Structure 1
Amino acid sequence: MAVIPTKAEKKVSYDVKLCQLLEDYTQILVVAADNVGSNQLENIRKDLRGDSVCNLKEVSEEVARYKLVAPARVGLVAPIDVVVPPGNTGLDPSQTSFFQINKGTVEIITPVELIKKGDKVGSSEAVLLSKLAIRPFSYGLVVVSVYDNGSFFSPEVLDLTEDDLIDKFSVAAPHMFGNAYKNVLAVAVATEYSFPEADKVKEYLKVFTAPATASKEEEKKEEPAEESDDDMGFSLFD
């Protein structure tokens, strides 16, 4: 009889497998697979086989293509807002606040927000969307993190283009150079090292600190001498 591993043993086994994968592969996409069926997952694996060790951005885009539309089932948490668009539904006549009868069928006259993102789908919403033949949701693998040569980062980084990097560098460059100049200047002031710009600062500091030094020396000179204990030779008992 096969021994069924406990939850703790499964976690330990999974941890060992994960550590081994991190050692064997330098680039890994961590994905969420909520509501992804086994057939859909198998198709993704088939198409990625042989290419999954290439460019992470290309693999991420390939994974994102495999999304299947799905109906709104009762109890599901809506990943997006669901809005019923205006138009003829083809349903039998019935009267609600957002329906009107048009040529023997129900017509929606204004867009109706039926479900908000994050809300659970109720039975009435699921039935209505089913009658309207609306399949509002789509599910697939979602990249949540990227592992590359020992570093984890957000998948949004894969979407950065060269223009984005140049723009970010252009904004940061003035601050980087400014801080570097301040650091070099501070070292020059504190040491014997110098350069023309540092010489100007050193001269300014000399002028700025000179009055304070001179005033301290004058205070020392103006201090009165201590009174002598000599009382001209007279004593209290003389």
Structure 2
Amino acid sequence: MTVKLTKAEKKVEYDKKLCRLLDEYTKVLIAVADNVGSNQLQNIRKGLRGESIVLMGKNTLIRRCIKFHAERTGNNSYLSLLPLLVGNVGLILPRVISRKLVKRLRNTNDTNNEDNQRRYKKVGAPARVGLVAPIDVVVPPGNTGLDPSQTSFFQVLNIPTKINKGTVEIITPVELIKKGEKVGSSEAALLAKLGIRPFSYGLVVQSVYEDGSVFSPEVLDLTEDDLIEKFSTGLSMVTSLSLAISYPTLAAAPHVFVNAYKNVLALSIATEYTYPQAEKVKEYLKDPSKFAVAAAPVAVEAETTSAFTAAAAKEEAKEEPAEESDDDMGFSLFD
């Protein structure tokens, strides 16, 4: 016979469990669990078993446990979780935070994988009265299977219908509920009659905690190309700012040297002062034909190469038929 614990004893056991998990895990996902049923949560726990632990509880209790853990261990890094414990949230403690794990918890239903929906992710839910629609709800055209006496529902919602073989048929697709609007009684009743469960709910990762840092889960979607692009953009901004205010930085150093050399070269060209690197430029400016002569060998070499390639291709094309002709003659002589 199991002994039923009192409320105070349950809190003590919860404290011990959470403190043990905080000692063991250094990564935490803060997940919103709005409209998630107990059966669905149990299925999510089963699906994540072996790689993550899902822990739900009252926010005040979790805050108290985190503060107690910080006082006991002297590790204040978990205190950054306290501002995130607002609303209906829970903790997911993974051994390794991967893009695959967060995507599985965050993305919408995978309609091609029913097992994945059941175990890991969101399940279809009916539209209840007063609920704020998370997505647009569109009623598709087609036969509803309802008898003609049900046309009043469609008339109230201005949905065009016709009677076809003794049943009500919707003629065109109709946007019944817009995202952000509250579900009315008529809309909820119609969707229930049509058997449409338009909404889906599940654990949605809101924030990611890792070794004292808190960041958005979208950070895990960044690829190396995205990081390189963002780094290049930031480097360009630093360089532009440095050049605009004449403040030396490592990023702007190459541009500063190039601009300085241009100024020295311009000064040398405008005056009698010269140096070896500027003499060649001065010669080209005095006689531009020298530049054309210098560039000519490169053009001639490229032209010669292409002509040689074309000639070789022609020669090869001519040789092949000649060999075939010789073979034919040889056979005719011996025959």
Residue 123 of structure 2 corresponds to 68
Write out per-residue CA displacement over residues 194-230 of structure 1, whole angstroms, 9 at most, x where no aligned residue: 97967999xxxxxxxxxxxxxxxxxxxxxxxxxxxxx
**1:48 is aligned with what amino acid?**
L
Instruction: State the Cα deviation string for residues 35-65 of structure 1 (Å, max 9, x = none).
Output: 1112211222222222121233222123245
Give the whole-Å Cα distance in 2 for the aligned partners of 1:32 and 1:196.
54
Residue equivalent to 1:176: 238
Deviations 1:65-108 (A, max 9, x none): 51111111223221111111111111111262422222221111
Runs of 4+ aligned residues of structure 1 deviating over 4 Å after TM superposition are: 1-5, 13-24, 194-201
What's the TM-score, normalizing by structure 1? 0.65
Q: Which residue, out of 89, 112, 132, partners 1:77?
A: 132
Residues 128 and 198 of structure 1: is their aligned pair in 2 closer, same or farther, counting only changes over 3 Å? same
* Contact 1:63–1:141 (CA under 8 A) maintained in structure 2: yes
Q: 1:36 to 1:162 in 2, by over 3 A?
A: same
Which has a greater percent of helix? 2
Taking the aligned partners of 2:217 and 2:211, their CA distance within structure 1 comes to: 15
Of the three residues 172, 185, 191, the one matched with 1:123 is 185
- Aligned CA distance change for structure 1 residues 197 and 115 (closer, same or farther; 3 Å): closer
Is this contact kept in 2: 1:99–1:109, CA < 8 A?
yes
Number of residue pairs matched? 187
2:217 is matched with which residue: 136, 149, 155? 155
Identity of paired residues, percent? 62
**Which AA in structure 2 matches 1:124?**
S
- The answer on whether the counterparts of 1:44 and 1:63 sit within 8 Å (CA) in structure 2 is no
Q: Does 1:45 align with 2:45?
A: yes
Q: Tell me the secondary structure at the aligned position of residue 28 of structure 1.
A: strand
Q: Which amino acid counterpart does residue 216 of structure 2 have in structure 1?
A: S
Distance 2:32 2:96 in 1: 20
- Counterpart of 1:225 in structure 2 is none
Q: 1:1-238, aligned counterparts within 5 Å?
A: 24-51=24-51, 52-64=94-106, 65-93=120-148, 94=151, 96=155, 97=158, 98-179=160-241, 182-184=246-248
Root mean square deviation, CA, Å: 3.4
Unmatched tracts of structure 2, length 5 or more:
52-93, 107-119, 250-255, 264-335
Residues of 1 paired with 2:219 and 2:14: CA distance? Answer: 28
Q: TM-score, normalised by structure 2?
A: 0.48
CA contact (8 A) 2:27 2:97 kept: no
Q: What is the SS of the residue equivalent to 2:191?
A: helix
In the alignment, the residues of structure 2 paired with residue 15 and residue 78 of structure 1 have an alpha-carbon distance, to the nearest angstrom, of 37
Matches of 1:2 and 1:26, distance apart in 2: 30
> Given the superposition, is the C-alpha separation of residues 169 and 16 from structure 1 closer, same or farther in structure 2, using an over 3 Å criterion?
farther
How has the CA–CA distance of structure 1 residues 77 and 49 changed in structure 2, closer, same or farther, with 3 Å as cutoff? Answer: same
More relative contact order, 1 or 2 (CA 8 Å, 6+ apart): 1
- State the distance in 1 between where 2:5 and 2:125 align: 38
